[in-house]
């Protein structure tokens, strides 16, 4: 697979250097839009512009742009004039056109929408009204549909006359008010007798979602029930559009990226090949937040500096205590947020989860406390240091386990994404608490440490 594709890519690149436009055009027609994107991203700016022009001339530009990673779009749009973009968007499926529009600045959006003719423009304006990340914002409004009262043969002829470009495997049956009455599987249609009414073939109990539903929730439905597509209906069951499984894969990937990024203190778009300026701008706020929490820890240490001068072993073990208790917090937090994201927390109660994570923190705290206390005793040769280390670790690790469970569960209750920033909060609190307990105990037993 891959070998054949990289051959195509090499050929196209050579053609862009030396070949005629006609040959490039022919070559482009055979290459999948996703592969054109990869070739595109490897070209010089001037070559990119030429490639884009040829893509417009063979009407493949829209499909190629649709496959681009979102962070590339703002670099490409300025090179294309409004009229070209409007024509292109008018010819795309509305959900694809909507995706591209969403990646433009609002001013440009309006300018281009004005150039798109009436029925399509209204569709697009409607789609832009749905909240970001809602089912409505990702649905395909051109669902293949028929009205009740048709026969199997009639349906086949209707479909043949209205050939859709996309792979349609389900046909939506609506009543005269466009309300969804059932879903017809293409396979059942194929096997049916010509005169069978569609009402006898269709499935009346299909799952539906409202246009306001969160797309992450929609993705969970697809995964849970192994769906290939799902109709979007309003309160009166009027069919608004369809969500298909290929969009769902993108959603699952996006949501996973978002969760991973939140954990590491990152905001989209920040990719391997985002510009340096973009990456710095995206990472700086998280870094500043981190500085704030780190300085809180420094304040605590500053408060105990006299103890440290008298028993410098306290300074030696400070980072060990902080790192281990922060680690328990992050482990717990990750398990809980992931369980929430995968919809697995339906499997039992939050209280049970919190109790278990407290217990895990206690067990790990006892084991690591004994280990670190032992190391401290043997290294520094002071039994009290060992005891202080053990006690501080047990307490800090129980807190880490508790916070790692309580914070994301509380955020979910408040309808905030549980992954968002909770890592920074958990680490900050466990750090400060571990410094306080360790240096506090050290100060109380200072005479035994000197």
DSSP H/E element including 230:
strand 229-233
| C-alpha closest to that of 371 among 324, 418, 328, 413 | 324
- For every residue of 155-187, DSSP letters joined together read HHHHHHHT--SS---EEEEE-TTSBEEEEEEHH
With binding defined as CB under 8 A, does residue 110 bind a second copy? no
With binding defined as CB under 8 A, does residue 308 bind a second copy? yes
With binding defined as CB under 8 A, does residue 45 bind a second copy? no
With binding defined as CB under 8 A, does residue 328 bind a second copy? yes
Q: Which stretch binds a second copy (CB under 8 A): 16-24, 84-92, 128-136, 260-268?
A: 260-268
Question: What tokens appear for 344 in the block?
Answer: 């697995």
Q: Which parts of 226-245 interact with a second copy (CB under 8 A)? A: 226-228, 245
Name which of 10 and 83 has its Cβ closer to a second copy.
10
Name which of 16 and 318 has its Cβ closer to a second copy.
318
With binding defined as CB under 8 A, does residue 27 bind a second copy? no
**Residue 415 CA: distances (Å) to CA of 148, 185, 389, 411, 419:** 41, 37, 38, 6, 12
Q: Which parts of 339-358 interact with a second copy (CB under 8 A)? A: 339, 342, 344-348, 352-353, 356-357
* Helix, strand counts (H, E) of the chain: 23, 5
Nearest approach in angstroms of CB 94 to a second copy is 17
Q: Which parts of 59-78 interact with a second copy (CB under 8 A)? A: 67, 69
For a second copy, the binding residue among 263, 395, 411, 441 (CB under 8 A) is 263
**Residue 103 CA: distances (Å) to CA of 69, 71, 106:** 11, 9, 9
With binding defined as CB under 8 A, does residue 259 bind a second copy? yes
Let me know: does 121 contact 225? Beta carbons within 8 Å: no
With binding defined as CB under 8 A, does residue 129 bind a second copy? no
For a second copy, the binding residue among 7, 207, 444, 450 (CB under 8 A) is 207
DSSP at 104: S
For a second copy, the binding residue among 193, 214, 224, 374 (CB under 8 A) is 224
* 127 bridge partner residues: none
With binding defined as CB under 8 A, does residue 334 bind a second copy? yes
With binding defined as CB under 8 A, does residue 250 bind a second copy? yes
Q: Which stretch binds a second copy (CB under 8 A): 95-103, 106-114, 120-128, 261-269?
A: 261-269
With binding defined as CB under 8 A, does residue 429 bind a second copy? no
With binding defined as CB under 8 A, does residue 336 bind a second copy? yes
With binding defined as CB under 8 A, does residue 26 bind a second copy? no
**Residue 61 CA: distances (Å) to CA of 33, 52, 68, 132, 184:** 9, 7, 11, 25, 33
Indicate if the alpha-carbon torsion angle 291, 297, 302, 303 is positive or negative. positive
Name which of 368 and 394 has its Cβ closer to a second copy.
368
């Amino acid at each position: 697979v891959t070998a054949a594709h990289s051959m195509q890519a090499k050929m196209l690149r050579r053609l862009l250097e030396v070949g005629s436009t006609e040959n490039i055009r022919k070559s482009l027609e055979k290459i999948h839009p996703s592969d054109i994107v990869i070739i595109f991203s490897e070209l010089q700016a001037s070559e990119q512009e030429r490639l884009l022009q040829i893509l417009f001339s063979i009407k493949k530009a829209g499909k190629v742009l649709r496959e681009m990673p979102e962070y590339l779009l703002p670099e490409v749009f300025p090179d294309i004039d409004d009229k070209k973009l409007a024509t292109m968007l008018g010819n795309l499926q509305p959900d694809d056109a909507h995706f591209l529009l969403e990646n433009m600045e609002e001013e440009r959006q309006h300018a281009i929408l004005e150039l798109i003719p009436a029925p399509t423009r209204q569709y697009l304006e409607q789609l832009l009204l749905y909240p970001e990340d809602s089912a409505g914002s990702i649905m395909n409004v051109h669902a293949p549909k028929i009205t009740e009262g048709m026969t199997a043969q009639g349906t086949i002829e209707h479909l043949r006359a209205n050939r859709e470009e996309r792979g349609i495997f389900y046909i939506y049956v609506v009543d005269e008010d466009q309300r969804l009455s059932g879903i017809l599987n293409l396979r059942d249609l194929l096997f049916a007798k010509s005169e069978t009414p569609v009402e006898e073939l269709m499935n009346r109990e299909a799952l539906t979602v409202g246009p306001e539903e969160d797309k992450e929730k929609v993705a969970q439905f697809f995964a849970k029930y192994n769906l290939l597509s799902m109709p979007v209906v309003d309160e009166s069951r009027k069919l608004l559009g369809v969500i298909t499984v290929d969009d769902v894969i993108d959603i699952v990937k996006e949501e996973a990226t978002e969760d991973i990024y939140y954990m590491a203190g990152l905001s989209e778009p920040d990719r391997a090949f985002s510009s340096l300026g973009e990456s710095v701008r995206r990472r700086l706020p998280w870094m500043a937040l981190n500085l704030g929490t780190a300085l809180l820890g420094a304040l605590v240490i500053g408060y105990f500096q006299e103890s440290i001068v008298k028993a410098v072993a306290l300074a030696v073990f400070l980072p060990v205590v902080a790192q281990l208790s922060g680690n328990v917090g992050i482990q717990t937090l990750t398990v809980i947020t992931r369980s929430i994201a995968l919809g697995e927390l339906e499997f039992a109660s939050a209280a049970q989860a919190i109790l278990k994570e407290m217990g895990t923190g206690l067990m790990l705290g006892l084991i690591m406390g004994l280990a670190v206390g032992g190391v401290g005793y043997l290294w520094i040769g002071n039994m009290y240091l060992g005891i202080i280390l053990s006690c501080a670790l047990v307490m800090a690790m129980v807190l880490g386990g508790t916070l790692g469970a309580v914070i994301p569960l509380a955020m979910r209750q408040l309808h905030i994404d549980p992954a968002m920033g909770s890592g920074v909060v958990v680490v900050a609190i466990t750090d400060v608490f571990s410094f306080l307990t360790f240096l506090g105990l050290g100060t109380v037993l200072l005479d035994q440490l000197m």
